[in-house]
Structure 1
Amino acid sequence: MNDLELGVIGNCAVAALIDRDARVLWYCLPRFDGDPVFHALLGAPKDASDDGVFAIELEDHVHSWQSYVENTAVLQTELHGKQGSLRITDFAPRLFWRERLFYPQAIVRRLTPISGSPRIRIRLRPRFDYGASAPIRTYGSHHIRYVGPSATIRLTTNAPIDFIRDETFFNLRAPIDLILGPDETLQEGVVETAGRLEERTTDYWRNWTHRLAIPFEFQDAVIRAAVTLKLCTYEPTGAIVAALTTSIPEGPGTQRNWDYRFCWLRDSYFVVRALNRLSAVRKMENYFRWLMNVVASLHETDIQPVYGIGLESALVERTVPGLPGYRGMGPVRVGNQAYEHSQHDNCGNVILGVAQMFVDRRLLSPPGHEDFLRLEELGRKALQLYDKPDAGMWEYRTRASIHTTSSLMCWAAADRLARIAGHIGETQRAGEWRSHADRMKQVILERSWSHKRQSFVESFDGEFLDAGVLLMTEVGFIDPHDPRMAATVKQLEKVLGRGPHMMRYEAADDFGMPGTAFNTCSFWRIDALARMGRVEEAREYFEEMLKLRNRLGLMSEDVDPKTGEMWGNYPQTYSLVGIVNCAMRLTRSWESVT
């Protein structure tokens, strides 16, 4: 059973999740972290158990087939029945219009009969306030308005309005178009509008993927991961969300249900780095714009690990009583308490996320000297905090330690500042930051190494293992061939390895012992093995991880190592980053393949 067999459509402003039977199960407005007007992924209120969905139902449905139009974010689903079949083409418009990008808060569904005499029913049941409010419906000759307490959405269509209103089965004898978006009148007919939007949206995505620098091997996996990573970026501000969903548990019945529709500085660094490797540098420029707004506010408050996509700082966590949760496994949470945490690795995550900006000559808006001075403020915070307790990258809610990964990223802040300073001609500052980085490195090497465990461990003077220390090679802290790193990998594989999978950590957390493997850690291990020269092992594990993707090539956050079932929020940018990074690391040159 895998309920996360979902396609993603989006346009870097809104996104929707669609299952293999062409049901829109998740769609938030006015942006990723907004009210889910379609929320069936997390269930529905008891008194409206069939609501929160936008379904195209085929009478006598037998089977379905789903795929993306090659190199695009345009999704096609075929429904096949005893009487006939149809194709549903789904997308969120993203195109150039009047010399600017156009990405409305809208989705388009185009229905085309492909055989026989298919009989269909259109079931469009949005709700508002996380399922608490049913809309008021008003009708026109070619549209239905759904009026909620704080928003109104409009369906414009050439389908019979009566059939949609009454959810009547009818014969699909000719193509039908459905455009769901703002409460605005179309400037052209619905057929002309939908056709033009599909053509130009398809062209946009093909042109975007055409410019990617992809590896020779694993091309399909990398392209799908890259497109989906882009769909998790919010164009108006440059923010990058960790995932498009909230409250899909990390494992069955665990209560580890979190809202991931926000911008974590840590996750965003890895996304930007992965897209940079594919030469998709515009995302870096957009993220830099968002990030420097965060940095500019630091005189008012300490840096947070996570912000809203519109730079909101208070992400107050609450539970939604009306929705039962994914497969009935509540609670459904909105907001994330992590914004209150002290996580010292954020200093490094910010600087790592923008360091390339200072050396990349392709950029249209490169950073200036003032930007470097602002980053130095973060560097000074890193110097103060690298050996102080925090909640760590795994965001423990009830305990604090001097976490090795937090200290590592503080070192990375000083190291990159030294490199940036040298590049921009600040020789004296470069020397000062190099001196700080060297001092921090010595402390980290001494205090994070456990002679008892023969491994780098999760915290200074600690003894528990943590897969996060694999990032030591990722950020250039230690040579992957260093005997201490080899010993660490050996211990991590022995204790945390589950075949191709890796658990996050050895010690119990606030909810006990995790039962699912964290995909990101599995990819970190693959990358570390490749760096150490264990390339064939790395390739074997990577190919096993690729098999865990759903049929559309996407991944969630976690996986049951015994069954391969996906868990956790979806699609998870961390996991998609792992696909890109490992593919780039492991690919062979086409000249070397006979």
Structure 2
Amino acid sequence: MHSPIEDYALVSDLHTGALISRTGSVDWLCFPRFDSPSVFAALLGTEDHGRWLLAPEAEDAEVIERSYIDSTFALQTLWRTSTGEALVTDFMPVEDRRASLVRRVEGISGTVAMREEIQIRFGYGEILPWVSKARDNDGLMLLAMAGPDALMHRGNILHANDRQHEGTLTVTAGVVRDIELAWYPSHRKPPKLIEAGLCLQSTIAYWQDWASNYEPQGEYDDMVKRSLLVLRALTHEDTGGIVAAPTTSLPEHFGGERNWDYRFCWLRDAVLTLEAMMTHGYQDEAFEWRNWLLRAVAGDAEDFQIMYGLAGERSLPETILSHLPGYRDSLPVRIGNGAVRQYQADVVGEVMVALEKLRCLGVTEDHFSWPLQRALLGAAENHLHDKDNGIWEMRGDLKHFTHSRVMMWAAFDCAVRAIENHGLDGPLERWVALRDELHAEVMEHGYNEELNSFTQAYGETQLDAALLQLPQVGFLSYDDPRILGTVAALEEQLLTKQGLLLRYRTDESDDGLEPGEHPFLACSFWLVGQYARSGRIDDARSLMDQLVGYANELGLLSEEYDAEARTMVGNYPQAFSHLALVRAADAIHYAGGMRSSSLAAVGMTALERP
């Protein structure tokens, strides 16, 4: 039986992340990177596909409290049994280039016997390793090896039982026991013993130091800070690449086929993450991402992709793992993502918008960055009239999606202002003409007079929540009658009875997949922002309170939410949801007239017209 998605906690070392259930089971972990094959895959299968359990033996054991140490990803779970209490602290050491997960057990009162069970399965649960015991100067180790991968377990004596290893340890008040599982290349020696206490202190210090740069600004401070921490946790320390989520194939609809691998870097997600970061003063992270972008897209601009691997890898072939039964029997389980080969006309616009905001913050272009942007604009011009797959990666017919055309407009709008406001070089008259041509085209073909609304695609009547992004890039103002008409139409056609906004109607779409999904949280956060920026501040706060209430006690959000069953759906934790939360909270804050910094004002308004 799978744990609900909201029962999982994330711990991260800025290279990969583990999902740990409320019951103390590590059900998902890929070593050494987010996109590496998993060593624990019970999340998408059964215990036999790999997991690591650490929990009290007693049948009456219960979790009294579970939380992160303040402003960190060090997870603490307080267990109580009839014989005592024990605290488990799970963390992944950061900044030491050690790929490991540490589980510290501390006796609080009485006596608590803890049970440990570990089933190591490399290759997404398919490969059973060779397991042996060894001893070095630091003590006994359990070693598991298969092909290029090896894991070392220290801190508790385990015994083989069929296809798993298990053991117990007992703690009393004041007693501390540390268990570590560390990955290493199988051709090297096992890592030396670490001082877990010092590693915990340095890990806490890292996260708290990073979070200390956040300046509190009002109503939703705790959720904004946690969301920024999530975005940092999903950013690879070395490359600067930002994964959309640390998981694959958590379904958008239980039992359905909308199951995708999100462990890659979508440019769209990354640039919106960049905006959230720089709005709150994290300029170093924004600069890191810009450098990642330049490396990833370097080459022929015609080869530009919508997504890349963590280090800028281009080949991300989509494969089905037929041996995994999926989360709650949702098939297929996929790795890789076929959308990498799609043409999504909005992405160049997303990139140009983010880089324009960096310029507004004073980041200067160099000999590489502006020529590369000019090349991307040239490629956009070459495909100016091409239909595309759209922001939602439709697998049906290509169309002229209104959102895509507006973002192409935004690309040339940013290019014009790069010349006019920042003194850069380029064919100003041509870019002005292209910008104005696109604006006129969208107004003629993307707006339906009878509906008093923009539509998902030219010549159609179906709506799309992505239309809420039109005022965000300055195409029209938030209170323009055509935008307000679009909002009214979205409320009528896409709001669920629980008040959440669908992306679009999958039962009326030819998106190439079977219909059925739950509301994307990001879309409802966009609606919060629209309400706030158009004077509906009470509606904005009401919806915002509802949405943040869907987060678990750790402040984590998934991609979607099933409000009827009151459970999270989709890949988790989801960068898109968290960055949309940050932008929504900012919109409410600014609507209240509390602009606390010029930096934040630039981040929110650089591309928004009055």
TM range (shorter): over 0.9
Which of residues 485, 488, 506 is equivalent to 1:487? 485
Distance 2:359 2:369 in 1: 10
1:428-460 C-alpha deviation (Å, 9 max, x unpaired): 645543343222111112210012322100112
Q: 1:565 — aligned with what?
A: 567
Helix, strand or coil: the match of 1:21? coil
Helix, strand or coil: the match of 2:239? coil
1:410 aligns with 2:438: no
1:434 aligns with 2:432: yes
Q: 1:502 — aligned with what?
A: 501
Q: 2:126 — aligned with what?
A: 132
1:543-587 C-alpha deviation (Å, 9 max, x unpaired): 001111112111111112323321100111110012111111113
1:372-414 C-alpha deviation (Å, 9 max, x unpaired): 1210111122234343211111111121110111111111111
Q: 1:67 — aligned with what?
A: 67
Distance 1:502 1:264 in 2: 22
Q: 2:599 — aligned with what?
A: none
Q: 2:605 — aligned with what?
A: none
Which of residues 149, 157, 160 is equivalent to 2:157? 160
Q: 1:529 — aligned with what?
A: 531
Distance 1:167 1:358 in 2: 56
Helix, strand or coil: the match of 2:272? helix
Retained in 2: the 8 A contact 1:53–1:125? Answer: yes
Q: 1:447 — aligned with what?
A: 445
Helix, strand or coil: the match of 1:167? strand
Retained in 2: the 8 A contact 1:268–1:353? Answer: no
Distance 1:369 1:133 in 2: 48
Distance 1:146 1:589 in 2: 58
Residue 85 of structure 1 deviates from its aligned partner by: 2.2
Q: 1:111 — aligned with what?
A: 105
Which of residues 224, 227, 230 is equivalent to 1:225? 227
Retained in 2: the 8 A contact 1:383–1:410? Answer: no
1:280-314 C-alpha deviation (Å, 9 max, x unpaired): 12221111111112332235x42111111122212
Alignment of 1:316-465 (within 5 A): 316-361=317-362, 366-426=364-424, 429-430=427-428, 432-465=430-463
Alignment of 1:51-62 (within 5 A): 51-60=49-58, 61-62=60-61
Distance 2:182 2:168 in 1: 24
Q: Which amino acid aligns with 2:244?
A: A
1:39-59 C-alpha deviation (Å, 9 max, x unpaired): 111113xxxx44511110211
Which of residues 3, 17, 27 is equivalent to 2:19? 17
Distance 1:589 1:484 in 2: 25
Helix, strand or coil: the match of 2:6? coil
Distance 2:28 2:78 in 1: 20
Helix, strand or coil: the match of 2:581? helix
**Relative to 1, partners in 2 of residues 1:591 and 1:376: Cα closer, same or farther, differing over 3 Å?**
closer
Distance 2:486 2:245 in 1: 30
Q: 2:603 — aligned with what?
A: none
Q: Which amino acid aligns with 1:160?
A: I
Distance 1:395 1:3 in 2: 24
1:263-282 C-alpha deviation (Å, 9 max, x unpaired): 11111111111111111122
Which stretch shifts more, 419-428 or 271-280? 419-428
Retained in 2: the 8 A contact 1:345–1:410? Answer: yes
Helix, strand or coil: the match of 2:5? coil
**Relative to 1, partners in 2 of residues 1:452 and 1:514: Cα closer, same or farther, differing over 3 Å?**
farther
**Relative to 1, partners in 2 of residues 1:22 and 1:375: Cα closer, same or farther, differing over 3 Å?**
same
Q: Which amino acid aligns with 1:460?
A: Y
Distance 1:502 1:485 in 2: 16
Q: 1:169 — aligned with what?
A: 168
Q: Which amino acid aligns with 2:490?
A: L
Helix, strand or coil: the match of 1:120? strand
Retained in 2: the 8 A contact 1:12–1:103? Answer: no
Alignment of 1:73-92 (within 5 A): 73-92=73-92
TM-score by length of 1: 0.92
**Relative to 1, partners in 2 of residues 1:515 and 1:424: Cα closer, same or farther, differing over 3 Å?**
closer
Q: 1:30 — aligned with what?
A: 32
**Relative to 1, partners in 2 of residues 1:428 and 1:148: Cα closer, same or farther, differing over 3 Å?**
closer
Distance 1:194 1:186 in 2: 13
Distance 1:422 1:56 in 2: 61
Q: 2:471 — aligned with what?
A: 473
Distance 2:167 2:21 in 1: 22
Q: 2:144 — aligned with what?
A: 146
1:290-349 C-alpha deviation (Å, 9 max, x unpaired): 1112332235x4211111112221211111122111122222111111011111111112
Which stretch shifts more, 166-175 or 458-467? 166-175
TM-score by length of 2: 0.90
Residue 360 of structure 1 deviates from its aligned partner by: 2.5
Q: 1:98 — aligned with what?
A: none
Q: Which amino acid aligns with 2:98?
A: P
Distance 1:585 1:357 in 2: 19
Identity, % of aligned positions: 31
Q: 1:268 — aligned with what?
A: 270
Distance 2:543 2:165 in 1: 52
Helix, strand or coil: the match of 1:236? coil
Residue 87 of structure 1 deviates from its aligned partner by: 1.0
1:161-188 C-alpha deviation (Å, 9 max, x unpaired): 559985233422431111221345555x
Distance 2:424 2:571 in 1: 43
Residue 235 of structure 1 deviates from its aligned partner by: 1.8
Q: Which amino acid aligns with 1:342?
A: Y
Residue 466 of structure 1 deviates from its aligned partner by: 0.8
Helix, strand or coil: the match of 2:387? coil
Helix, strand or coil: the match of 1:142? strand
Q: 2:117 — aligned with what?
A: 123
Distance 1:121 1:251 in 2: 34
Q: Which amino acid aligns with 1:91?
A: F
Distance 2:595 2:558 in 1: 34
Q: Which amino acid aligns with 1:275?
A: M
Helix, strand or coil: the match of 1:181? strand
Distance 1:220 1:522 in 2: 19
Retained in 1: the 8 A contact 2:157–2:167? Answer: no
Retained in 2: the 8 A contact 1:38–1:53? Answer: yes
Helix, strand or coil: the match of 2:66? strand
Retained in 2: the 8 A contact 1:232–1:241? Answer: yes
Q: 1:99 — aligned with what?
A: none
Retained in 2: the 8 A contact 1:38–1:126? Answer: yes
Helix, strand or coil: the match of 1:118? strand
Q: 2:93 — aligned with what?
A: 93
Residue 526 of structure 1 deviates from its aligned partner by: 1.0
Distance 2:247 2:471 in 1: 31
**Relative to 1, partners in 2 of residues 1:218 and 1:161: Cα closer, same or farther, differing over 3 Å?**
same
